[in-house]
Amino acid sequence: MWLSLLIALLGMNPASPERETAIVEACRMWSRSSDPQSQPVRQIASDGLCFSGPINDGTSATFVSALSKFEPSAPVVVVVNSGGGEINAGMAMGEALIPLQTTVVAQTVCASSCANYLFTAGDRRVIDEGALLLFHGGAHPLDETQLRQAIAAQVAADQVEAQVASVRAGVQKQIDRQDAFLRRAGVDVNFFRWMAGFNDLSDDGRLALCPTPDPVMILYSDRLLATHGVTVDAGRGPRSQAALDAAVRALGRSDAVCFMR
């Protein structure tokens, strides 16, 4: 009762549980039979959208175009299944979600840019049964010492600083856009800065938080995500390192992943 009242006061109107379940199942069936390279998006009636596959300029444009057909005042369930991809393409997708009344459902795997910008953009956020919501950080300042060394190996000495400055400006533009997106999504603007802090810890400090050495991606607990404004309204994914490892193996993957409480 109180949740329904709060949602009404905030102007949000999520899809009914029955309709959400039906759209999630329809997207599951479509994802199993579709070719995401040729058809990354599928609309389900007037209130559902499925997205499956990598995030790049082409799939992002297709997704944004599909979203433009939905009525902003009506609830829509968006089911996403993606290993991620390009930062700017992901942000464009998240920015298109924010004006709508959305339930975003992570299905099977929602990693990298999918987790960063699609899942966080939802008014209501759901992790489907056994699905993996995996993060490994967003746009952040680069190590300029390493950047300078990499550039110096490719261009003339008198061009290095200009190239470093160009890359620095491009990264800062991404960070500024990301900060603006997080504010609109109601997420802690320092969410990705907090993630990046993990890399600054000592080896012992990292292992104290994450039992997996050098993880490629991290699955954060619902509680930990909530402390940064990423409220998970229904979390049905793994809730321990053992469960996460088993889920990764079941998908035929060998990624080093970490469950962080």
**Total domains, the chain:** 1
Q: Which residue has the tokens 């039979």?
A: 33
Q: Beta 234-235 vs 41-44: how paired, if at all? A: unpaired
* Helices and strands per DSSP (H, E), number in the chain: 11, 9
Mean pLDDT of the chain: 91
Give the torsion sign (CA, 55, 196, 233, 243). positive
Cα of 210 vs its chain's centroid, Å: 20
> What pLDDT shows up at residue 132?
97
Q: Which residue has the tokens 């400090």?
A: 205
> What pLDDT shows up at residue 142?
81
Residue 159 domain-assigned (yes or no): no
Residue 23 domain-assigned (yes or no): yes
Residue 196 domain-assigned (yes or no): no
More confident residue, 228 or 32: 228
User: How many residues are listed for the chain in this entry?
Assistant: 261
Of 2-11, 107-116, 133-142, 237-246, the range with the lowest mean pLDDT is 2-11
Question: Can you give the residue range of the structural domain that contains 67?
Answer: 2-139+211-260
CA distance linking residue 7 with residue 168, whole number of Å: 41
pLDDT digits (tens, 9 = 90+) for 179-204: 999 999 999 999 999 998 887 888 88
Residue 28 domain-assigned (yes or no): yes
CATH of the domain at 81: 3.90.226
Contact criterion met (CB below 8 Å) for 151 and 163? yes
Residue 93 domain-assigned (yes or no): yes
Residue 232 domain-assigned (yes or no): yes
pLDDT digits (tens, 9 = 90+) for 74-95: 999 999 999 999 999 999 999 9
pLDDT digits (tens, 9 = 90+) for 121-178: 999 999 999 999 999 988 888 888 888 899 999 999 999 899 989 988 999 999 999 9
pTM of the model: 0.90
Contact criterion met (CB below 8 Å) for 26 and 43? no
Contact criterion met (CB below 8 Å) for 258 and 206? no
SS3 194: helix
Residue 163 domain-assigned (yes or no): no
Q: Which among 113, 110, 135, 120 is positioned nearest to 236, based on CA atoms?
A: 110
pLDDT digits (tens, 9 = 90+) for 13-36: 788 999 999 999 999 999 888 776
Residue 176 domain-assigned (yes or no): no
CA distance linking residue 142 with residue 45, whole number of Å: 44
> What pLDDT shows up at residue 12?
62
Query: HSE of 99 in the Cβ direction (CA atoms, 13 Å)?
Result: 11
pLDDT band at 6 (very low <50, low <70, confident <90, very high): very low
